[in-house]
């Protein structure tokens, strides 16, 4: 009987024993597909996430602010690249991932389909959006797939700067003139609910979650992560004297958590379907940047070919 | 499209002299020089390294996971290779 263990069962036992899966190990095809989908989606989010912030680089209010924002946007590019490289270890070519993003087949976090009309949004994104991302990513440092876990460790170290610089921006505004204060509040009003939606549908509407938890790709459910984020963030808002736009938000001593209001899931699904405020703009910009860079890629290829031909000529045949 | 697809390079960093280079990830580049420059931007934005190695991924030969047993189990039963295998009285010092 004992010899009758399927590869899937062996894999599950291996993962249950807290072992990491590495690229060349056997894995169920669905595990591979799930990871490719999740990691590439995560990579796309980092890359598309550069756009709403890049919007303010030329208009940052000081040289200090501009340097920080540039460094942050460059980090997001780096995070995208670590993640693409992790997804490629599963056999998915980079150009296919890019093509899937541009065709709309692959998704990215819906939060990046919201606009950034004010400087305060640079603060709120760092504080809330990166804060929510950290909540998710800290969990993913312990994900069962080795290359993904390692990418997450590096990303988490860098994200902490992102959140702190964001909070600092909001803090300066919240402690500033009445106009600056209302800029901060108005920005919080716009980003609060979309930030909560970043954790994905509630547990009873999240069909892939159970399998992902079983394979230890995820270790906490969407609702658990969302609750942890709210519990951490409410005191941070109180410190700033800003009001979270949720009338139902209050501490529940019995649960030991904050209770909060109903999330408008119809908005979430509309944005995912492509009907958010900036979906079309984000993809159009990505395509344009990609196409505008085509000559650079061609030139680099031509140069590399010429160099290697020259090298071959200069090296005497053995 | 495949013509424009740069090949994949594995990146290794030495964080400081005295330590070995360690694998940190991979990236795409048209040639080795560009791979070094890209590795600088992607993997050393916070002084993580003082030396970079890049190796075309296709040049790496790896042992197969299903060879793990024949390759590595032979050493498992050779406990006499470890110092703790030997009973030396506590009174004998510096050993």
User: Could you read off the pLDDT of B11-70 as tens digits, one per residue?
Assistant: 999 999 999 999 999 999 999 999 999 999 999 999 999 999 999 999 999 998 888 888
Q: Are B26 and A308 inside 8 Å of each other by CB? A: no
Residue A120 has pLDDT above 80, yes or no: yes
The mean predicted confidence, pLDDT, of chain A is: 95
Cα(A43)–Cα(A111) distance, integer angstroms: 14
Indicate if the pLDDT at residue A295 is higher than 90.
yes
- Window 157-196 of A: residues touching B by CB (8 A cutoff) are 158
CA-based nearest distance A242→chain B, Å: 33
Q: What is the pLDDT of residues A227-260, one digit of tens each?
A: 999 999 999 999 999 999 999 999 999 999 999 9
Residue A304, chain B, CB below 8 Å: the answer is yes
Give yes or no for residue B1 having a pLDDT over 50: no
Given pLDDT bands bounded at 50, 70 and 90, which one contains residue B75? confident
pLDDT band at A318 (very low <50, low <70, confident <90, very high): low
The answer to whether the CB atoms of B25 and A82 lie below 8 A apart is yes
What's the gap in Å between the CA of A78 and the closest CA on chain B? 5
CA distance B77 to chain A (A): 23
Q: Does B62 touch chain A (CB under 8 A)?
A: yes
Query: Which of B1, B30, B45 is facing A75, going by the closest CB pair?
Result: B45
Q: Hey, are the CB atoms on B27 and A93 less than 8 Å from each other?
A: no
Task: Check if B34 contacts A (Cβ < 8 Å).
Answer: yes
Q: What is the pLDDT of residues A31-69, one digit of tens each?
A: 999 999 999 999 999 999 999 999 999 999 999 999 999
The answer on pLDDT for B3 being more than 70 is: no
Q: What is the pLDDT of residue A206?
A: 87
Q: pTM of the prediction?
A: 0.93
């Amino acid at each position: 009987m004992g010899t009758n263990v399927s590869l899937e069962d062996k894999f599950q036992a291996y993962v249950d024993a807290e072992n990491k899966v590495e690229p060349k190990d056997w894995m169920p095809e669905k595990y591979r597909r799930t990871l490719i989908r999740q990691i590439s989606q995560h990579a796309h989010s980092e890359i598309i996430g550069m756009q709403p912030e890049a919007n303010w680089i030329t208009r940052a209010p000081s040289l200090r602010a501009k340097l920080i924002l540039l460094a942050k946007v460059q980090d997001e590019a780096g995070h995208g690249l670590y993640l693409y490289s992790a997804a490629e270890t599963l056999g998915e070519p980079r150009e296919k991932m890019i093509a899937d993003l541009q065709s709309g087949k692959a998704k990215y976090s819906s939060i990046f389909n919201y606009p950034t009309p004010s400087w305060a949004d640079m603060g709120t994104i760092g504080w809330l959006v990166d804060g929510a991302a950290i909540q998710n990513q800290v969990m993913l440092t312990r994900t069962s797939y080795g290359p993904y876990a390692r990418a997450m460790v590096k990303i988490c170290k860098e994200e902490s700067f992102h959140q702190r610089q964001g909070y600092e921006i909001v803090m300066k505004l919240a402690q500033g003139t009445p106009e600056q204060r209302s800029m901060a509040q108005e920005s919080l009003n716009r980003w609060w609910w979309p930030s909560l939606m970043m954790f994905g549908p509630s547990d009873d509407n999240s069909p892939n979650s159970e399998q992902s938890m079983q394979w230890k790709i995820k270790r906490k459910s969407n609702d658990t992560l969302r609750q942890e984020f709210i519990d951490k963030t409410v005191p941070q808002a109180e410190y700033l004297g800003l009001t979270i736009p949720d009338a139902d938000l209050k501490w529940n001593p019995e649960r030991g958590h904050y209770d909060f209001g109903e999330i408008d899931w119809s908005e979430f699904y509309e944005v995912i379907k492509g009907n958010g405020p900036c979906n079309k703009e984000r993809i159009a910009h990505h395509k344009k940047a990609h196409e505008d860079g085509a000559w650079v890629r061609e030139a680099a290829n031509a140069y590399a070919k010429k160099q290697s031909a020259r090298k071959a000529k200069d090296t005497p045949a053995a | 499209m495949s013509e424009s697809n740069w090949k994949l390079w594995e990146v290794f960093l030495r964080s400081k002299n005295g330590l070995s280079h360690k694998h940190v990830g991979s990236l795409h580049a048209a040639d080795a020089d560009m791979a070094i420059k890209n590795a600088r931007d992607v993997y050393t934005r916070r002084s993580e390294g003082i030396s970079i190695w890049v190796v075309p991924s296709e040049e790496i030969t790896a042992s197969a996971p299903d060879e793990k047993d024949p390759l590595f189990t032979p050493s498992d039963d050779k406990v006499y290779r470890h110092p703790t295998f030997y009973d030396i009285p506590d009174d004998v010092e510096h050993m």
